[in-house]
Amino acid sequence: QVSQNELDWFHQDSEAQMKKWQQEKKENRENLKALKGTAKKHSDTNERYLKTIDEKEKQYNASLKTFLET
């Protein structure tokens, strides 16, 4: 038979482990949120750069066309 003390120790260990896991879960959620924010910033920056590149390419092609016609 399991003594009451052993049962209490098991219960305390279980609660301590549960609190540890909950803290890790909270930290992981916060890290994931931060990473999602960083990914969003990089994605937005990439979109801006792509638009700028497209605009510059159009300007270049127009200038090249004018140059070749001249």
Average pLDDT value for the chain: 96
User: pTM (2 decimals)?
Assistant: 0.65
Closest C-alpha among 28, 6, 25 to residue 17:
25
pLDDT digits (tens, 9 = 90+) for 10-68: 999 999 999 999 999 999 999 999 999 999 999 999 999 999 999 999 999 999 999 99
- DSSP class of residue 35 equals H
Q: Which residue is associated with the tokens 């801006």?
A: 48
- In the structure, what pLDDT confidence band is assigned to residue 2 with cuts at 50, 70 and 90? confident
Give whole-number Cα distances, 15 to 4, 11, 12, 65, 66, in Å.
16, 6, 5, 74, 76
Write down the pLDDT at residue 44. 98
Backbone angles phi, psi at 2, to 5 degrees: -90, 130
H helical segments located in the chain? 4-69
